[in-house]
Amino acid sequence: MARPLIADIDLDALRHNYAIASELAPGSRSMAVIKANAYGHGAVACAQALESAAPAFAVASLEEAESLREAGIQRPILLLEGIFEVEELARVEALQLWQVVHSDWQLDAVLNHPAAQPLTVWLKLDSGMHRLGYDPESFADRWIRLKAASHRVRDIHLISHFASADQADTSQFECQQRTIESVRQRLEAPVCIANSPATLTRPRTHGQWNRPGVMLYGSNPLEGELPPGVSLKPVMTLRSRLIAVQSLSGGEPVGYGARWHTSRPSRIGVVAAGYGDGYDRHAADGTPILVDGQRCPLVGRVSMDMLTVDISHLPDAGVGSEVVLWGQGLSVDEVAGHCNTIGYTLLTGLLPRVPRRYRESV
């Protein structure tokens, strides 16, 4: 009998969330971000599920793009960090990939590459996050150079990234937006700047392209609640079962380091899931877990292959009872808050030994 831990991936929910992203920005084309193995959900399966709707995909590296092409994905694929070595340009051309250019060595490589057809370039503007890209004056110069090299490049877009679009009101966001708008107007550039939070709440950032990411997988990227009328569905439900139950008297320790002790006679369920699967070891006592659909608190430290949960209030729960670690009925974002992290890290951190089981109605 197989270990009961499994990641249940609902591809209908993925399509639902993508449709919401598209409906929120009807004047934009929504590029589905499926980097980091589609945020842990499986890039190939997610791309196949979205290919009929999404006009393009975005990934972080050539290797990620290659796996999609090998699986038969034909839609355009954007390399969000561009190439990492000049030699990669031959594969970029062969696979007909789009690429971000954020550094002069990348720019020179593109302009010197003897491509049979012009390459598609998305030029990165550092609008204030100070991670990748050109400052506004340098950006304008590079944009003009690329526009003059029509035999080498085509379909040039301005791309930038917000550092704080998820926050309710920040001066940094407004500063970045002003910078982007100034450059856009000066160069009459088509833009791609709206990530998931901007797609959800900042319609003035919607450009020729948007690039929703984590919202596609049902995670709320905002500091607060989702906008009224917007309902994202969890795509991944991490399921397991109780594999043992311990009946303990009051004052007994549970787990490594005896971090938690029973305060009364208690029933402690042992779940087949741990940090060796990607469940965060930093999860605090009280982190919610569903057992037979009822909320229960995690107790004691998460170990590599198991974790423990107080089921004292569930007299009918026992070995074989279904457990939901996050997903349907329990938001990954709520669980992440008890781990002092964000939903992104839990989803992308799910390790390969956890089987993904895909389901859809079509």
CB atoms within 10 A of CB 35: 20
User: What HEC string does the chain produce?
Assistant: CCCCCEEEEEHHHHHHHHHHHHHHCCCCEECEECHHHHHCCCHHHHHHHHCCCCCCEEECCHHHHHHHHHCCCCCCEEECCCCCCHHHHHHHHHCCCEEEECCHHHHHHHHHCCCCCCEEEEEEECCCCCCCCECHHHHHHHHHHHHHCCCCEEEEEEECCCCCCCCCCCHHHHHHHHHHHHHHHHHCCCEEEECHHHHHHCHHHCCCEECCCHHHHCCCCCCCCCCCCCCCCCCEEEEEEEEEEEEECCCCEECHHHCEECCCCEEEEEECCCCCCCCCCCCCCCCEEEECCEEEEECCCCCCCCEEEECCCCCCCCCCCEEEEEECCECHHHHHHHCCCCHHHHHHCCCCCCCEEEECCC
Q: Among the options 18, 35, 134, 344, which is catalytic?
A: 35
Query: Rounded CA gap, 7 and 40, in Å?
Result: 10
Looking at the structure, tell me whether residues 212 and 94 fall in a common domain: yes
* Backbone torsions φ then ψ of 156, nearest 5 degrees: -75, 135
Query: Rounded CA gap, 339 and 342, in Å?
Result: 8
pTM: 0.96
Q: Which of 162, 190, 217 is the last residue of a domain?
A: 217
Could you list the residue range(s) of the whole structural domain that residue 337 is in? 236-359
Closest by Cα among 74, 69, 72, 36 to 54: 74
Measured between alpha carbons, how far is residue 63 from residues 46, 82, 243, 317 in Å?
A: 17, 12, 38, 45
Q: Tell whether the model's pLDDT for residue 362 goes beyond 90.
A: no
Looking at the structure, tell me whether residues 161 and 277 fall in a common domain: no
Closest by Cα among 269, 359, 276 to 10: 359
Residues 93-112: what's their mean pLDDT?
Answer: 98
Return the ∠ at Cα 43 (arms to 19 and 131), rounded to 5°.
85
Looking at the structure, tell me whether residues 250 and 354 fall in a common domain: yes
Looking at the structure, tell me whether residues 86 and 131 fall in a common domain: yes
- Percent of the chain topping pLDDT 70: 99
Is residue 321 included in any domain, yes or no?
Answer: yes
Residue 41: both structure tokens together: 């959900």
- Cβ contacts of 290 within 8 Å, gap of 6 or more: 296, 323, 324, 329, 330
Q: Which of 182, 217, 252 is the last residue of a domain?
A: 217
Query: Rounded CA gap, 111 and 123, in Å?
Result: 13
- Is 35 known to be catalytic? yes
- Is 233 known to be catalytic? no
Number of domains, the chain: 2
The distance between the two most distant Cα atoms of the chain, rounded to a whole number of Å, is: 78
Q: Tell whether the model's pLDDT for residue 193 goes beyond 70.
A: yes
Residues 78-86: what's their mean pLDDT?
Answer: 98
Is residue 320 included in any domain, yes or no?
Answer: yes
Is residue 189 included in any domain, yes or no?
Answer: yes
Q: Which of 217, 248, 266 is the last residue of a domain?
A: 217
- Percent of the chain topping pLDDT 90: 97
Residue 244, domain CATH: 2.40.37.10
Q: What is the identity of the amino acid at 221?
A: P
Query: Tell me: the pLDDT tens digits for 213-265?
Result: 999 999 999 998 999 999 999 999 999 999 999 999 999 999 999 999 999 99
Query: Rounded CA gap, 225 and 217, in Å?
Result: 16
Residue 150 pLDDT: 93
Cβ pair 195, 168 in contact under 8 A: no
Is residue 52 included in any domain, yes or no?
Answer: yes
Looking at the structure, tell me whether residues 20 and 77 fall in a common domain: yes
Looking at the structure, tell me whether residues 29 and 101 fall in a common domain: yes
> Residue 1 — very low, low, confident or very high, per pLDDT cuts 50/70/90?
low
Least confident of 40-44, 170-174, 175-179, 284-288: 170-174
Query: Rounded CA gap, 280 and 14, in Å?
Result: 24
Is residue 228 included in any domain, yes or no?
Answer: no
Query: Tell me: the pLDDT tens digits for 140-169?
Result: 999 999 999 999 999 999 999 999 999 977
Residue 170 pLDDT: 83
Looking at the structure, tell me whether residues 127 and 196 fall in a common domain: yes
Average pLDDT, the chain: 97
Is residue 225 included in any domain, yes or no?
Answer: no
Looking at the structure, tell me whether residues 200 and 290 fall in a common domain: no
CB atoms within 10 A of CB 357: 12
Q: Among the options 39, 217, 256, 358, which is catalytic?
A: 256
Residue 113, domain CATH: 3.20.20.10
Looking at the structure, tell me whether residues 192 and 242 fall in a common domain: no
Cα 65 from chain centroid?
16
Query: Rounded CA gap, 64 and 101, in Å?
Result: 18
Looking at the structure, tell me whether residues 95 and 16 fall in a common domain: yes
Residue 272 pLDDT: 98
Looking at the structure, tell me whether residues 198 and 279 fall in a common domain: no
Q: Tell whether the model's pLDDT for residue 123 goes beyond 80.
A: yes
Looking at the structure, tell me whether residues 67 and 191 fall in a common domain: yes
Residue 169 pLDDT: 73
Residue 168 pLDDT: 78
Is residue 231 included in any domain, yes or no?
Answer: no
Is residue 68 included in any domain, yes or no?
Answer: yes
